[in-house]
Amino acid sequence: MPFSLKGKAALVTGSGRGIGRAIALQLAQAGASVMLNDIDREPLLETGSLIDQAGGIAKALPGDLTQPDFPQKLVDFTVNGFGSIDIIVNNAGYTWDNVIQKMTDEQFQAMLDIHLVAPFRILRAAAGFIREAAKREIAEGRRVMRKVVNITSVSGVDGIAGQAGYGAGKAGINGLTKVLSKEWGRYNVNVNSVGFGLIETRLVQPLDAGGTIEMKGKQIKIGVQPAMREAAKSMCPLGRLGTVEEAAGAVLFFCSPLSDYVSGEILIVSGGARS
Ligand code: NAP
């Protein structure tokens, strides 16, 4: 590896499964100490075990990011546990789709809450530590780069039918990326978005597989119409869905010194496909 993240403390939300788990594993492999979070305890502990077995360093705090006071707790737990917070990956998310005429206020708001409000609260909670640390480092004549990666989607850049709430949340996070890249440049923080096309996780499993997730006591159908999955493959120049490792690779770039002079960007990771 042309870089090491040894000594860096990273927070990855939604790291119990899917892309978040792959991001956490790659960060740990690169040497970072990783704070794991997910709403579900069991898969989260599994991610922790995988990192332990590979000789990496991880701690975990399960919890629901949409609870207003939880983002601050998570940031405090990271700083107290590792002595710093150097990399933040706002990854947790899910889809709750419907055409606009059938989308309830609750559904629309839930998408904003997890994809936009929770990342905002995490970043606001981290602002105190980051500003103080950067001021101290700059006074000592040291340039220490920190990293924020916000996970977005092709839906938030180009739009996907049926995703008014999800697309709005994913577009909103790109606005936050752009603003914070300007506010935090002076503190040596790179702030970027990575937007995925279809990556093979349970979120995009064929709809007829009957997948659901439980959120706040509600069963929410997840998945993509089989015909849409096939259409997405045929419209993708690479002819296939991406793997979680491929998705995580792009995030690792933005967490590494390789991207120290890149900020405020939105990188689309979709095998060349745009909706
Ligand atoms: P995934 O496998 O379902 O993983 C997402 C994780 O986020 C789950 O473990 C989930 O917990 C967790 N999560 C959801 N709500 C949470 C909350 N309130 N608090 C804490 N954790 C929460 O999905 P994925 O495909 O890896 O998605 C990761 C990110 O990529 C999401 O932001 C998603 O929108 C984005 N994305 C994915 C694709 C794709 O094709 N897969 C495309 C574009 C963007 P539970 O397991 O308990 O629900």
- Please answer whether residues 34 and 111 qualify as being in contact, where contact means their C-beta atoms are separated by less than 8 angstroms: no
Dist CA 190 CA 233 (whole Å): 32
Distance CA 61, CA 1 (A): 29
pLDDT tens digits, 131-144: 999 999 999 999 99
Contact 45, 121 (CB under 8 A): no
Minimal-distance CA residue to ligand 1 atom 46: 40
Distance of CA 203 from the midpoint of ligand 1 (Å): 7
For residue 149, the tally of other CB atoms under 10 A from its CB is 27
Residue pLDDT, tens place only, 201-217: 999 999 988 899 999 89
20-60 per-position pLDDT tens digit: 999 999 999 999 999 999 999 999 999 999 999 999 999 99
Find the length of the chain.
275
Q: Mean of the per-residue pLDDT values for the chain?
A: 97
Domains detected in the chain: 9-202+241-269 (3.40.50.720)
Q: Which residues does a 6 A CB cutoff place in the pocket of ligand 1?
A: 14, 16-20, 37-40, 64-66, 91-94, 114, 151, 153, 196, 198-199, 201-204, 213
Q: What DSSP element (H or E) covers 219?
A: strand 218-221
Instruction: Point out the residues of the chain with pLDDT beneath 50.
Output: none
Alpha-carbon distance of 35 to 12, in angstroms, equals 6
Among protein residues, the one whose CA lies closest to atom 37 of ligand 1: 196
